[in-house]
């Protein structure tokens, strides 16, 4: 078997199969391989008319089918399965060849793998791919890390299969070295968690406070999707809410168990944010909300606790309240993206990646789960001022969130008054208020820490670190 394939995909579950088909549909000859050879044969038999495939039943056949430099995409489960595939294929490769991990790997694993393979002259590229099964087939948002040399080889292929933004630009960019691509994909998923939680809270408020039916809320979301909240998640939310269960005739959302699951990337986002010292409170609340929903016994034990009686609004009041919820959702959404981009910037600085936040916003405009109309404005904000410290520092976003704040606060008051949990909305507002505060109570926290642990504090009127001798005359000593 001579090397005729420009790209190879090993691991032919749904994502791998669809990615291979995407490459083939875009004119590339694709080598395909799976540990179970029957899956390889089934793909070619079912989709062989879509393009040019080379079926390989052994690792040796698969590698031999690839032209140099070989480009080999791994689409298997993250963790040990990925390491096992690398261990199997790396000895068959040569200097300058490229291994691409398209799974949801932890970026630290990607950094380790890139370092180990670099020593053998093999490029390793951790690629974040967003868009799910449909995106993999029709055009995802692609976030590759790795060396610049590896992107020179791989980039033209990825640009062909990526989603295209409204202006025609491929939604792919070289994010940065080693683990940068998987780091940015991790944060993307963290923002996704926050976005979904905020949308769920908006639904809960409209259902409980406004008294809307799921069908009415679907109609409301469709209206919102024609304006500044235009996004994939708002679009599919309307579809889910409008769906009626065929077996019972009830709204679909009323027959689904209210226990949300998670695969871990949102949790990673929060864990890494803690390591970096970056406040991503909105993302954290979204992760914890999913966790709380899954504690069925805990919730059952607390169900008899006292709370306010629900009192749905009249029609006119409900319409006005829905408009306020739209404002709260939009403002909170801006905060979740603000926190996510702050984490990307902090990670870039910490790991010396030089990630361009404007380029990241640009490749999220299509293909990915959090694609939204206002990402084009986020790109513009960072293009205009690359060192923008926060999206809230951008005048347009700052003005919009300022205009929304009264309604935002009113919604949270209404939620508290009727006992509707809105941790995402509340955390977003608390973040906003903390950023704009002249002084925070952290001064008291530092005093407490110095009292019980001699942890010292800094003063506002002179340089240095100080400690108060709390147990004696409470005199102050300089510690440096």
Give the list of residues 6+ apart from residue 232 with CB closer than 8 angstroms, or none: 368, 369, 370, 371, 372
Q: What does the longest C-alpha to C-alpha distance in the chain come to?
A: 87
**Which residues are 244's β-sheet partners?**
251
* DSSP conformation letters of 375-416: HHHHHHHHHH-TT-S-GGGSHHHHHHHHHHHHHHHHHHHHHH
Give the list of residues 6+ apart from residue 377 with CB closer than 8 angstroms, or none: 396, 397
Return the DSSP state at 244: B
CA distance 344 to 41: 41
* DSSP conformation letters of 54-118: EE-SSHHHHHHTBPSSPEEEE-S-TTHHHHHHHHHHGGG--TT-EEEE-S---HHHHHHHHHHHH
CA distance 182 to 176: 10
Q: Pick the catalytic residue: 185, 201, 326, 333?
A: 185
- Give catalytic status of residue 192 as yes or no: yes
CA distance 478 to 480: 6
Does a cis peptide bond (omega within 30 degrees of 0) precede residue 69? yes
CA distance 251 to 244: 5
* DSSP conformation letters of 137-206: HH--EEEEBS-HHHHHHHHHHHHHHS-B-TTS-BSB---BSTTHHHHHHHHHHHHHHHHHHHHHHHHHHH
CA distance 382 to 387: 7
CA distance 458 to 461: 9
CA distance 183 to 243: 35
Q: Pick the catalytic residue: 108, 159, 192, 385?
A: 192
**At 467, is the secondary structure helix, strand, or coil?**
strand
* DSSP conformation letters of 337-374: HHHHHHHHHHHHHHHT----HHHHHHHTSSSSTT-BTT
Annotated catalytic residues are 185, 192
């Amino acid at each position: 078997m001579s090397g005729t394939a420009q790209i190879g995909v090993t691991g032919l579950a749904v994502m791998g199969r669809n990615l291979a088909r995407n490459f083939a549909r875009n004119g590339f000859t694709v080598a395909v391989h799976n540990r179970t050879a029957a899956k390889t044969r089934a793909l070619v038999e079912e989709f062989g008319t879509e393009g040019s495939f080379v079926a390989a039943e052994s690792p040796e056949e698969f590698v031999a089918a690839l032209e140099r430099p070989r480009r080999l995409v791994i689409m298997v489960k993250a963790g040990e399965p990925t390491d096992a595939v690398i261990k199997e294929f790396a000895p068959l490769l040569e200097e300058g060849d490229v291994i691409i991990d398209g799974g949801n790997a932890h970026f630290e694993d990607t950094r380790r793998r890139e370092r180990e393979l670099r020593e053998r002259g093999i490029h390793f590229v951790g690629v974040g791919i967003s868009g799910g099964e449909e995106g993999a087939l029709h055009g995802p948002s692609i976030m590759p890390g790795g060396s610049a040399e590896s992107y020179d080889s791989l980039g033209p292929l990825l640009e062909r299969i990526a989603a295209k933004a409204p202006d025609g630009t491929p939604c792919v960019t070289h994010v940065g070295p080693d683990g940068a691509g998987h780091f940015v994909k991790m944060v993307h998923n963290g923002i996704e968690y926050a976005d979904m939680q905020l949308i769920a809270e908006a639904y809960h408020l409209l259902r409980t406070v406004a008294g809307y039916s799921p069908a009415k809320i679907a109609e409301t979301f469709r209206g919102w999707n024609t304006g500044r909240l235009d996004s994939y998640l708002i679009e599919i939310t309307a579809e889910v809410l409008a769906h009626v269960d065929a077996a019972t005739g009830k709204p679909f959302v009323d027959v689904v168990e209210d226990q949300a699951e998670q695969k871990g990337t949102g949790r990673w986002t929060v864990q890494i944010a803690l390591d970096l010292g970056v406040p991503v409170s909105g993302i954290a609340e979204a992760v914890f909300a999913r966790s709380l929903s899954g504690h069925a016994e805990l919730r059952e034990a607390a169900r008899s606790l006292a709370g306010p009686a629900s009192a749905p609004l009249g029609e006119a009041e409900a319409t006005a309240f829905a408009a306020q919820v739209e404002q709260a959702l939009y403002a909170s959404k801006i905060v979740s993206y603000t926190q996510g981009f702050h984490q990307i910037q902090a990670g870039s600085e910490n790991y010396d990646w030089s990630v361009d936040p404007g380029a990241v916003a640009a490749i999220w405009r299509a293909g990915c789960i959090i694609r939204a109309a206002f990402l084009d404005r986020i790109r513009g904000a960072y293009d205009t001022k690359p060192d923008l410290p926060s999206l809230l520092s951008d005048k347009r976003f700052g003005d919009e969130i300022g205009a929304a704040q009264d309604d935002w606060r009113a919604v949270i008051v209404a939620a508290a008054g009727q006992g509707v949990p809105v941790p995402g909305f509340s955390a977003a507002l608390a973040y906003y208020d903390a950023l704009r505060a002249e002084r925070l109570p952290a001064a008291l926290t530092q005093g407490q820490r110095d009292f019980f642990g001699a942890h010292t504090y800094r003063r506002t009127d002179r340089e240095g670190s100080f400690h108060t001798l709390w147990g004696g005359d409470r005199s102050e000593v300089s510690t440096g």
